[in-house]
Structure 1
Amino acid sequence: MSAKPDDSARKKDGSKKKSKFFTVFMVILDIVIIIAAFFAVFYFIFYNNIGGVTEKYYSTVKGIPLLNLALPEPPDPLNPKYMTQAEIREKYIEFKKENEELKKQLEQSNAKAAELSYYKDNYDKLTQDAGAKLEDLDQREAAVIEKEKQLEELQKKVEEMVANGDREGFREYFESIDPENAAAIYEAILEKQQIDENVKKFAQVYAEMDEDSAAAVFEQLGTSKLDMIAETLKAMNRKDASEIIQSMSPDFAARVTEKLNELYRGN
């Protein structure tokens, strides 16, 4: 009979313990629910930026573990109001280094641009100078060609007067032209006359030789001296020249005759 009260006491103690555990469990569960509800409300408010609270406290909440999970992605991650102080300092150091590097690159680019500008200016100047010199040379060349053409025409005219014995016309003509041109023409005529005199003297030497010897000497001179041979034969009387040509080999005689023909046609 004495065992029954003990069983009853044990049951009461067990019930009390279960009641305590249940109470503790319910308290913990309530706390969890309250925290979850708080976090849900917090998340909703911050994620949707109700009343601008997210923008205002973004950097503060971002540094709090778990709560920062409620923050949405910032529209501008580099905006200081969305960054913590540590992130701001880190970005400042990063931007400062980039800025210094950009300054160095800018200085190098400016130096390179100045160097290229210097070379371009020099190139442009050299190009202009070269163009001016080429233009001047072209003008001088054209003037020289025109001068030579005029002198050649004047010389032919004077030679015709000399050949015709027109002394009065020769005198009047020289008085009417430019003194510089007159001097150049006169010098050319004297030079040509001197050459003609030398050729005549040279031709006289061969004219006094027998035709076979003269022909042999001319053939020894060869085709490279055809101009000189033809001038010499032209300065002789035609009888002596023809006898010397007849004494030449047929091939060489043909070459000399062709050159003589050119000289006669030129006159």
Structure 2
Amino acid sequence: MPSKSDTKKGGKKKKSKLFTIFMILLDIVIIAAAFGAVFYFIFYNNIGGVTEKHYSTVKNIPLLNLALPEAPDPLNPKYMTQREIRDKYIEYRDENEQLRKQLDEAGEREKELQTYKDDYDKLIQEAQTQLQSLKMSGAAITEMEQQLTEQKARLDEAIANSDREAFREYFETIDPDNAALLYEGVVRQQQTDENVKKFAQVYAEMDPSSAAAIFEQLGTSKLDMITETLKAMNKKNSSEIMEAMTPEFAAKVTERLNTLYKGD
């Protein structure tokens, strides 16, 4: 059985070993702390450019990476780990693909807008052409209206003056198809008037009573011819012949002459 002194000695030895181990561990901690402090100081202050050289390497080491200062350019590859570089590459690749798609869409949109612009420019050009055409048509219409106004004035004057020659000249200025028919009628009327004048001249040179007797002999069935003949004479000759007629026949002739003059 060990004595009390041996027991005390054994306890002291055990405590001595524990103390020694503690001191060793403490020294290690102190050394590690000192080393860490030196490491932190060197890397944090970038002494000798060591931080720039080994930034990405130290960044992958736990605890030691705490000594690294904030990177001046986080996207600079020398301040990034391989994983960060890979992740950033994937991110940039996806963004680049997205931008490429957007660029393609923008190109298609630009083509579409260019088509719209071309159509718009075409419509504007057509509208300007139509506007110019309308202006020219408006000027032509205005000119035609002026011509029609002048022609109407001439026609009104011809009607007022019973001027058949003016009628003929007027018809020569209007639509050829319509003018041909109208002009033919005027020419026929002119020829008829010439014949009537020649016929009337024969009766105008006769004795008024003889001419009146012949007209009365023709009777009312030839009243149109009689009145046309009298109308073609001068007023002196026609009035002398009518004075030589019987009152009843002279009244019928007068009535028909009145109708003729109103018709003119």
TM value normalised by structure 2: 0.60
Aligned amino acid, residue 37 of structure 1: A
Matched, 1:75 2:72: yes
Structure 1 residues 195-229: Cα deviation after superposition (integer angstroms, max 9, x where no partner): xxxxxxxxxxxxxxxxxxxxxxxxxxxxxxxxxxx
Matched, 1:154 2:151: yes
Higher Cα Rg, which structure: 2
**Identity between Structure 1 and Structure 2 (%):** 60
Matched, 1:35 2:26: no
Aligned amino acid, residue 183 of structure 1: I
Alignment partners' CA distance in 1, 2:138 and 2:4 = 142
Partner of 1:52: 49
Alignment partners' CA distance in 1, 2:103 and 2:164 = 85
Partner of 1:124: 121
Partner of 1:105: 102
Partner of 1:197: none
Equivalences for residues 240-255 of structure 1 within 5 A? none
Partner of 1:263: none
Among residues 84, 89, 98, which one is paired with 1:87 in the alignment? 84
Aligned amino acid, residue 146 of structure 2: K
Task: Give the superposition deviation at 1:17.
Answer: 2.0
Partner of 2:130: 133
Task: Give the superposition deviation at 1:156.
Answer: 0.6
Q: Aligned with 2:3: secondary structure?
A: helix
Task: Give the superposition deviation at 1:162.
Answer: 4.5
Alignment partners' CA distance in 1, 2:48 and 2:161 = 124
Alignment partners' CA distance in 2, 1:140 and 1:120 = 29
Alignment partners' CA distance in 1, 2:80 and 2:5 = 65
Task: Give the superposition deviation at 1:71.
Answer: 1.4
Task: Give the superposition deviation at 1:102.
Answer: 1.4
Task: Give the superposition deviation at 1:83.
Answer: 0.9
Partner of 1:222: none
Alignment partners' CA distance in 2, 1:101 and 1:135 = 50
Aligned amino acid, residue 55 of structure 1: E
Among residues 170, 177, 183, which one is paired with 2:174 in the alignment? 183
Q: What is the total number of aligned residue pairs between the two structures?
A: 182
Task: Give the superposition deviation at 1:61.
Answer: 0.4
Where structure 1 has 5 or more consecutive residues not aligned to the other structure, the ranges are: 194-267
Q: What is the RMSD of the two structures over their aligned residues, measured on CA atoms?
A: 3.1
Alignment partners' CA distance in 2, 1:85 and 1:43 = 23
Aligned amino acid, residue 129 of structure 1: E
Where structure 2 has 5 or more consecutive residues not aligned to the other structure, the ranges are: 186-264
